[in-house]
Amino acid sequence: MRIDVVSIFPEYLAPLNLSLVGKAVRDGLLDLRVHDLRDWARDRHRTVDDTPFGGGAGMVMRPDVWGEALDAVMTPGAHLVVPSPAGQPFSQQLAADLAGTEQLVIACGRYEGIDARVVEHYAAAGTVSEVSLGDYVVNGGEVAALVVVEAVARLLPGVIGNPQSLVEESHAGDGLLEYPVYTRPTAWAGLEVPEVLLSGHHGNVARWRRDRSIERTAARRPDLLLALDPAQLDRGDLAVLSALGWSVREGGLVPPG
Ligand code: ADE
């Protein structure tokens, strides 16, 4: 797979040379190219922004500069991702969809964002996703590009040594947060590893983990439980949920109270 990132701060993307993503690039599993948007500016100051029509604070990135850059970088069928706090929430599902594409191009905006005609223009010709990291604002799209590249790259075949790790983690498919994990020493800071995990009884371990997943999800992300199909739940699941005050009604889960 090929991923191109366009930014006025290409050095911001340097961490992608490290760790699993860096190794994926060196192993030839990922063709990662980082570009400086200013290479497509036309004046000697290499200007990429201008004042907003209609007034207001800050600067807006010019569509003509972005158009030159994206036309140079995008190949037919490319999926364009534009990070923005006004985008759709980035998700594991979108990461998985993007991992199935031939080329992903990430356009990192700064200042007040990119002239809206850029998304409009490329959406008419192909697939464009404006994506948000969450309900907060960072200074530009580079941090989001790091997140998107890492979330996508680790799903490419061969990048993660043991693909089973992808199946069991949070947001991986069962709609629940991952259970807590433990390693040696068995006692630390007065805290013991739960007995069942030392028992060697696989069935009990699996049940304990599933129960903890459900409890965590209920406490931290009840919205994920509301989205679950109760048909996916077994009797053990329903017992934990009912102990937490949840019930099943008309094909959905109902929170306590
Ligand atoms: N740019 C600024 N804030 C952002 C956010 N929350 N997500 C994606 N891109 C952004």
CB atoms within 10 A of CB 210: 18
Strand partners, 37: none
The tokens for 82 are: 């534009």
Cα of 61 from ligand 1 centre, angstroms: 15
CA distance 54 to 136: 25
Give pLDDT, residue 5: 98
Q: What is the total residue count of the chain?
A: 257
Q: List, in order, residues 6 or more apart from 222 with CB less than 8 Å away.
A: 255
Secondary structure of residue 181 in the 3-state scheme: coil
Ramachandran assignment for 254, one of left (phi > 0), alpha (psi -120 to 50 degrees), beta (any other) = beta
For the CA of 140, the closest atom of ligand 1 is: 1
Nearest in space to 84 (alpha carbons), one of 117, 118, 112: 112
Secondary structure of residue 161 in the 3-state scheme: coil
Ligand 1 neighbours (beta carbon < 6 A): 83-85, 132-134, 136-138, 141, 144
Query: Is residue 101 a contact partner of residue 128, using CB atoms and an 8 Å limit?
Result: no
Question: pTM for the full model?
Answer: 0.95
Nearest in space to 144 (alpha carbons), one of 163, 129, 155: 129
Secondary structure of residue 127 in the 3-state scheme: strand
Give pLDDT, residue 169: 84
CA distance 79 to 45: 30
Give pLDDT, residue 171: 86
- Measured by CA distance, the residue closest to atom 6 of ligand 1 is 85
For the CA of 133, the closest atom of ligand 1 is: 7
Give pLDDT, residue 141: 98
- Tens digits of residue pLDDT in 125-142: 999 999 999 999 999 999
Cα of 50 from ligand 1 centre, angstroms: 20
Give pLDDT, residue 251: 83
Query: Is residue 88 a contact partner of residue 62, using CB atoms and an 8 Å limit?
Result: no
Cα of 86 from ligand 1 centre, angstroms: 8
Q: How far is CA 140 from CA 12, 96, 109, in A?
A: 11, 24, 6
- Is the sign of the CA dihedral 17, 140, 86, 79 positive or negative? negative
Give pLDDT, residue 109: 97
**What is the Cα 103 distance to its own chain's centre?**
17
Query: Is residue 143 a contact partner of residue 14, using CB atoms and an 8 Å limit?
Result: no
Give pLDDT, residue 127: 96
Q: What is the mean pLDDT of the chain?
A: 96
- Give residue 246's identity as a one-letter amino acid code: W
**What is the Cα 160 distance to its own chain's centre?**
16
- Measured by CA distance, the residue closest to atom 10 of ligand 1 is 84
Cα of 225 from ligand 1 centre, angstroms: 26
* Low pLDDT (below 50) residues in the chain: none
Cα of 154 from ligand 1 centre, angstroms: 21
> What DSSP line would sit under 98-123, residue for residue?
HHTSSEEEEE---TT-B-THHHHHHH
Q: What are phi and psi of 173, to 5 degrees?
A: 155, -35
- Tens digits of residue pLDDT in 57-88: 999 999 999 999 999 999 999 999 999 999 99
